[in-house]
Every structure is written in structure tokens, then in C-alpha cells.
Amino acid sequence: MPKHNNLKICIVATSLSNGGTERFASTLSFMLDSLGYDVFLLSTKDSIDYHYAGQLYNLEKEAGSVNNVQKLVCLYKFFKSEKFDIIIDNRARRDFVKEFLIYRFAYNKSRIISMIHNYNIYNYFPGSKSRANLIYKSNNEFVGVSRSIKDRMISEYGFENIKSIYNPINIADLQNKAKEFDVELPYQYILYYGRFEEESKNLTLMIKSYAKSQLNKHSVKLLLMGKGDDFDYLKKLVESLQLQDMVVFLDYNPNPFPYVKQALFTTLSSKYEGFPMSIIESLAVGTPVVSVDCESGPSEVIKDRENGLLVKNYDEEALSLAFDMFLKDEPLYLNCKKNAPKSVAHLDVNVIINAWKSILENEA
């Protein structure tokens, strides 16, 4: 679209595939483009599945290498030549030396907004408070994707230049994507979609809770869609529980939403989150959610017994009983299903866009 605003903005992302944080970067690019900003999207990895608005800079491809030194040199030259007004950093930031170099040299001349996507804020603040202060200047701004993240950042690191803005979703777009193809499976299923990553996603809890539940006895299968380093571990766990016929692994799909829409419900068993996209996407297409009450995010979206079920974390019995409740209590299930889309209406891009406009244009 024609550019009516002079702000030149770069969104920095690790990739544009296989996750909610990456999908956020994609959605944000469209929001900022619709406001008339000059939008660039820099992906540090050559992994591009999601659509985006604006211009893409594929760092790994441009550097011609996955070598960090070559990528850092290329990154520095890119930011020096483009002279962005604002950089929105969407990456995890664990490596102190690398982040010090990026923030103090590559990003040095721009206004910086650093995203915090996870309650495990140590993914974004490598090391101690003193080290964090070396990376982030006093005028660095932060956006946390939940209220809990904002509160934790203030209490543990003392940074107060932080706002909380929920992850946005394009509800109309999600509902259209959910109709793009039919899922032709001869059985009912519940669904997890996302990374196969035990450290945060705790899929062991989900699988063991499913094994305890009545779902498999009623031929309701558990579908696990995605990819990740713990795929082999999860396959072996399923085999050890003799659930090979009931737990189905599906490859990562950039459009999982037809599967989401046709699921009995989706589920989340994470140790920690930020503001999980899978929950709000599921609700947007009319599929209720059974989730553990982890820090942070689920309790800010799921209203127990209204649009889903929220249970104590790390409790196989509680999660398995919640699975069974949606199977056995049809009025409860149908009520949650009916309420699902309207429960996330406040997260639509047309609402969240105003919060971003206010921050970027320094409105009170």
C-alpha cells in the first residue's frame, strides 16, 4: 500500500516458520504495513513459511553461511545502510556476547523495542541484571505479551519502560484458512500443534494424561503436529505406553487450522509460555481448549468452563479428568465451543493495532 507515514521499521525474527512467536512477526508486519509504515522483516534463519508484508531480508541467505561471525558482519552492514527509525526485536536473546554486539553496534542508531514472548524471561536477559544493563540501554523499550511477563520483568530486572500488548490474531484470516482443505480422518481427535520441545512444552505430561484418560477407550486419538528436537524421544515414549495406534504424529504444516477447526479440542501442557498463540487461534476458529494453568498466558485467555478448561499444572490426573469432562459432558462442551470465537474478539488485529500505533507514534 502507499506509504503515508515516514517511519521506517524493521521487525527482527529468528525465522518465519514453525511457531507462534514467528507467526506473531508475520502478523505484526501486516499490521504495521496497514498503518502506512515502511516495513522490513529480517529473518536470521533461512526458514520462511509464513506470509509477510513489506520487504524481507534473509540474513542466512545474504551472509551465505550459518556462521555467526559472518552473519553478525552482514547484520551490522544491513542496519548501517538502512538506518531504521525503529527496530522491533522478536528473537530470543540468550547469548550475552552476541547480544551485546548486536544491541550496542548493529542497532545502535535506532529506537529499539524488544519483545518478551515468554514467562521464562531469562531467554531474553542473558545473565545477571548487571549484564542485562550492559546490553539494554536506559532508553530501550520492552513489550511483554502478557501482564504476568510485564510484572515479572519489573520485579526481577527493574526495567520499567515496558508495556504489555497481547499477541494479535487476524480472526477473519484464520477462519478462512480453516476452510482451505478438508481433514478426512475416520476418527475423532484432540490436537496439539507446535514445537516438539520437552523443556518448555512438557509433552510428556500431555501424553501420559491422555494415556490415563478415557479418550483412547472411546477411539478419540491424540494428534501431535509439528517438528522439533524431541521427536524421537516422544515417539519412544508413545511406544513405551503402547499407544502407537492412538497417538498420531503429523508433520509440521504452515496451515494447521483445518485440523484445529475439526479437532474435538486442542490442548496445552507447557511448563511455561508467554501468551500462547495456539490457544487464541484455536478459540478463534471455534475449537475449545484444555490447558494447564502455566505461567503465563492461559489464565488470561481461558475462562474455565466458559471457553475451555483450565487445570492445575504438572498434574496428570487433573489433565486426564479434564480430557474426560469434555467427552462426557456434552452441554458443557457445546457451551465452550459456542463461546470460543467471541472470547478472543478483543485480540483481533483491528483492536490490537491501536496499541501498537500508540507506542510507535509515542502517543500518550
Question: What's the pLDDT tens digit per position in 114-147?
Answer: 999 999 999 998 878 899 999 998 889 999 999 9
Q: In terms of domains, do 190 and 147 share one?
A: no
My answer on whether 49 and 120 are in the same domain is yes
Sheet holding 266-268: strands in order across? 247-251, 221-227, 189-195, 266-268, 289-292, 308-311
Q: Please name the residues in contact with 133: beta carbons below 8 A apart, sequence gap of 6 or more.
A: none
Question: Is residue 3 situated within a structural domain?
Answer: no
Cα–Cα distances (Å) from 235 to 232, 248, 322, in that order, read 5, 10, 24
Q: What is the model's pLDDT at position 253? A: 94
Number of separate domains in the chain: 2
Does any domain span residue 178? Answer: yes
Q: Are residues 137 and 218 in the same domain?
A: no
Partners of 247 in the β-ladder = 222
Asked if pLDDT for residue 332 goes beyond 60, the answer is: yes
Hey, what's the cell of 46?
Answer: 533461512
- Is residue 304 a part of any domain in this protein? yes
150 and 276 co-located in one domain: no
Judge whether 329 lies within some domain: yes
Whether 141 and 110 have beta carbons less than 8 Å apart is answered as no
Residues 263 and 236: beta-carbon distance below 8 Å: no
Q: How far, in Å, CA of 267 to CA of 205, rounded?
A: 11
Whole-number pLDDT of residue 6: 83
Q: For 258-286, what is the mean pLDDT? A: 97
Residue the block writes with cell 495406534: 245
Cell 478483543, located at residue: 346
Same domain (yes/no): 307, 175: yes
Q: pLDDT value at position 68?
A: 85
Residue 50 has pLDDT above 80, yes or no: yes
The SS3 of residue 239 is helix
Q: How many CB atoms lie within 10 A of CB 97?
A: 10
Q: Tell me, yes or no, whether 94 and 80 share the same domain.
A: yes
Taking phi first (over 0 means left), then psi (-120 to 50 degrees means alpha), and beta for anything else, what does residue 228 get? left
What confidence score (pLDDT) does residue 149 get?
95
**pLDDT tens per residue, range 153-204:** 999 998 889 999 999 999 999 999 999 999 999 999 999 999 999 999 999 9
Do residues 118 and 197 both lie within one domain?
A: no
Q: Distance of alpha carbon 5 from its chain centroid, rounded? A: 28
**For residue 364, pLDDT beyond 90:** no
R_g of the chain, CA atoms, integer Å = 21
pLDDT band of 36, cuts 50, 70, 90: very high
Q: What CATH number has the domain bearing residue 134?
A: 3.40.50.2000
Question: In this predicted model, what pLDDT tens digit does every residue of 204-236 receive, in sequence order?
Answer: 999 999 999 999 999 999 999 999 999 999 999
* pLDDT for the residue numbered 3: 53
Q: What is the pLDDT of residues 80-109, one digit of tens each?
A: 999 999 999 999 999 999 999 999 999 988
Task: Tell me whether residue 2 is in a domain.
Answer: no
3-state helix/strand/coil string of 145-176: CCHHHHHHHHHHHCCCCEEECCCCECHHHHHH
Same domain (yes/no): 290, 353: no
Strand ranges in 179-315 using DSSP code E only, listed in sequence order: 189-195, 221-227, 247-251, 266-268, 289-292, 308-311
Indicate if 189 and 117 belong to the same structural domain.
no
In a shared domain, residues 183 and 99: no
pLDDT the model gives residue 363:
58
**Average pLDDT estimate for 312-325:** 98
Looking at residue 32, its pLDDT comes to 97
Give the Cα separation of 4 and 6 in Å (integer).
Answer: 7
Q: Is residue 197 part of a domain?
A: yes
Backbone angles phi, psi at 52, to 5 degrees: -150, 160
- What is the rounded CA–CA span in Å between residue 1 and residue 143? 27
Asked if residue 125 is part of any domain, the answer here is yes
Q: Are residues 213 and 155 in the same domain?
A: no
Which residues is 10 bridged to in the sheet?
40, 87
Residue 5 has pLDDT above 70, yes or no: no
DSSP secondary structure letter of residue 3: -
Q: How many whole angstroms separate alpha carbon 205 and alpha carbon 215?
A: 15
Spell out the residues 6+ positions from residue 328 whose beta carbon is closer than 8 angstroms to its own: 214
**CA atoms of 126 and 120, how far apart (whole Å):** 11
Joined grid coordinates for residue 340: 470460543
Pair (153, 269) in one structural domain: no
- The reported pLDDT for the residue numbered 1 is 46
Burial class (CB in 10 A: 0-12, 13-18, 19+), 106: buried
Model pLDDT, residue 91: 97
Rounded-to-integer distance, Cα 239 and Cα 41, Å: 42
Q: By residue range, what is the domain housing residue 61?
A: 8-168+348-360
Q: Tell me, yes or no, whether 19 lies in a domain.
A: yes
Is the pLDDT confidence value at 4 over 70?
no
pTM of the model: 0.89
The three grid cell numbers given for residue 13, joined into one nine-digit string? 525474527
